[in-house]
Amino acid sequence: MDLILEGIKKAFLLLFTLDREVLDITILSLKVSGLATIISIFIGVSTGTMIALNEFPGKRIVVSLVNTGMGLPPVVVGLFVTIFLWRSGPFGFLGILYTPLAIIIAQSIIATPIVMGITVAAMQQLPRKLRLQILALGATRLQMVWTLIKEARLSLLAAVMAGFGGVISEIGASIMVGGNIKGYSRVLTTATVMETSRGNFDVAIALSIILLLLAYFINLILTHIQQKERQR
């Protein structure tokens, strides 16, 4: 019991004194996962919209593949990104394995299907006639797609939440392609694993609290926007 109490006490001390190392790890985590989420929004929303709005042979197979991708195990992504970026791999010449960039790539691959899958569902939930109505009001095809995206914005916010939540908390890919290098590619999750295995529970608990708070605050902001929209 002492172990836990002592750990929590020390953890809060680290937090309130704004420990340099803890702060750096937190900022890197936010940067990496934030960028990965932004990349996944661009790819996921545009591709998801295209899939939802167009009829083509094999659409069902594509949609089921995207949905499967929503549960892509981060270790599998980590493995393949590592192979591709390995010195003798196809992109080995880039020399970006064990860098934050590699983590961004891996996390984008994890978040994209999540955002895409929710986008497809959100777009298909809009009434079919809405497209005809928008075109009948004189919209070009691009204006129509943009109007539909605006209509689905609440569901798309949920997609962003799910995407960010998925990557900020994943560990497998980050540790494999980032390497958990101190002061360089160490993020909240990889640091937590390492500190725990070393028995440094105080630091591990501090990192976990930050992780929880981050996830909580970002979702709080997004939920707030969503609820405000609903009430109008």
* The only residue of 9, 95, 220, 229 in contact with another protein, by rule CB under 8 A: 229
Q: Which of 83, 139, 193, 222 binds another protein (CB under 8 A)?
A: 139
Does 232 engage in binding with another protein (CB under 8 A)? yes
Among residues 35, 216, 178, 34, which one has the least CA distance to residue 208? 216
Smallest gap from residue 141 Cβ to another protein (A)? 9
Interface with another protein, residue 140, by CB under 8 A: yes
CB of 45 to another protein, least distance (A): 17
Number of residues that bind another protein (CB under 8 A): 20
Least separation in angstroms between CB 138 and another protein: 4
Nearer to another protein, 135 or 193 (CB): 135
Nearer residue to another protein within complex by CB, 141 or 182: 141
- Asked if 150 touches another protein (CB under 8 A), the answer is yes
> What is the x/- site pattern for another protein, positions 99-138, by CB under 8 A?
----------------------------x-xx-xxxxxxx
Per-residue H/E/C for the chain: CHHHHHHHHHHHHHHHCCCHHHHHHHHHHHHHHHHHHHHHHHHHHHHHHHHHHCCCCCHHHHHHHHHHHCCCCHHHHHHHHHHHHCCCCCCHHHCCCCCHHHHHHHHHHHHHHHHHHHHHHHHHHCCHHHHHHHHHCCCCHHHHHHHHHHHCHHHHHHHHHHHHHHHHCCCHHHHHHHCCCCCCCCCHHHHHHHHHHHCCHHHHHHHHHHHHHHHHHHHHHHHHHHHHHHHC
The nearest distance, CB 165 to another protein, in angstroms, is 25
- For another protein, which is the closer residue by CB, 58 or 127? 127
Give the footprint of another protein on this chain (CB under 8 A).
127, 129-130, 132-140, 143, 147, 150-151, 153-154, 229, 232
